[in-house]
Amino acid sequence: MVLVTGNKGYIGSVLSKILLDKGHSLVGLDTDFYRGCSFFDTGNDFRQITKDIRDVLNEDFEGIDAVIHLAALSNDPLGEFNVRLTEDINYKGTLHVARMAKASGVKRFVYASSQSMYGVSNSDDELDEDASEKNPVTAYARTKWDAELRLKQMVDDDFVVVCMRPSTVFGASHNFRADIVFNNFVASAYTTGKIKVKSDGIPWRPVVHVRDASRAFIAGLEAPQEIVRGESFNIGILDGNYTVRQLAEAAQRSVLGSQLVFTGEHGKDSRTYKVSFKKILTKLKDYYKPEWDLDMGGKELVGFFKDVGFSEEHYTGRRCNRLQQIKFLLENKNINDDLKWIK
């Protein structure tokens, strides 16, 4: 039995379907901040726990063999919105989940970490998991890196931890996000006819499709423990590093007639890094077989937009932008200042 935290999120809703299709038994755990944001009902037929990860108890892990831990404040802007809460949820909350899981006899813990820990790189070399310097410059990045370090201290013969560091994810999902780079570009092209690049387009960004990211988490679940115990893996594809300009050009190819505009209002973006995927593509080659590239993903997104009647209001509104949704819940007193539901 697999417990997926954050199972109702952008990645989690896709991952859950793939796990079920592969024959895994599943329990979902999600605080449900984004209720009402999904574009269609997935009709999931499994046990769902609606709970903040900071409040999980031993009883939530009864019968659970493995955990895939996705739940978090999910990007840099959301992380900087309240640094204290980012620490509380992404770091302390993660360790609380892991401790409860280990104490309850869970055997494997697959952690959704982040490549943002590489931060600003002055090297043209592709960064690897172990030897490359970590330079986390945001609260989100720092909490992900700190959590990895502490989680690995918990590893023993009965508790296997594997840390997966996804590239920036793209692609269609029931709970779609427009606040991540390639999704944003394609959504903008589709709804406005323009793709606005606010930097000079030079920085490098590794990206990966949401279904391939999901397969990597499942590889961390299914691979023999001697391959993954205490290891970190960058999730991506061969030649999976792109400049922002290349991402924008791929989005333009996806939406015929769309216009590419470089506004330059943010000047030169210092966040740039290229990541190596050699480790995951070799050590986990029998378990992780990525299938998606940018052009496939762009076509999929356009088809998804047509199917759901995607509009500019969706693109710019809270339904597809995480920080806006959290601010809405706060302003309407649905959640308190600790980001917990007001009953």
pLDDT recorded at residue 201: 83
Long-range contact set of residues 144-149: C-beta below 8 Å, sequence gap at least 24: 144/72, 144/90, 144/113, 144/114, 144/116, 144/117, 145/113, 145/117, 146/91, 147/90, 147/91, 147/94, 147/95, 147/111, 147/113, 148/111, 148/113, 148/117, 148/232
Q: What is the arithmetic mean of pLDDT over 138-145?
A: 91
pLDDT recorded at residue 102: 97
The confidence band for 184, taking pLDDT boundaries of 50, 70 and 90, is very high
145-154: pLDDT as tens digits: 999 999 999 9
Q: What is the arithmetic mean of pLDDT over 33-46?
A: 82
57-112: pLDDT as tens digits: 999 999 999 999 999 987 666 656 678 889 999 999 999 999 999 999 999 999 99
Q: Which structure tokens are listed for 326?
A: 């959290």
Query: Which domains occur in the chain, in start order?
Result: 2-176+207-241+273-293+326-331 (3.40.50.720)
- Average model confidence (pLDDT) across the chain: 91
Q: Pick the closest to residue 110 from 50, 65, 75 (CA basis).
A: 65
pLDDT recorded at residue 122: 66
213-271: pLDDT as tens digits: 999 999 999 999 999 999 999 999 999 999 999 999 999 999 999 999 887 665 555 56
pLDDT above 70 for 197: yes
CA dihedral 63, 51, 99, 141 (to 10 degrees): 130
Number of other residues whose CB lies within 10 A of the CB of residue 214: 27
Q: Is the CB of residue 121 less than 8 Å from the CB of residue 273?
A: yes
Instruction: State what percent of residues in the chain have pLDDT above 70.
Output: 94
The confidence band for 136, taking pLDDT boundaries of 50, 70 and 90, is confident
The confidence band for 200, taking pLDDT boundaries of 50, 70 and 90, is confident
Q: What is the pTM of this model?
A: 0.93
pLDDT above 70 for 28: yes
pLDDT recorded at residue 263: 76
pLDDT recorded at residue 133: 84
Sheet holding 204-209, edge to edge: 168-170, 204-209, 241-243
107-135: pLDDT as tens digits: 999 999 999 888 776 667 888 898 888 88
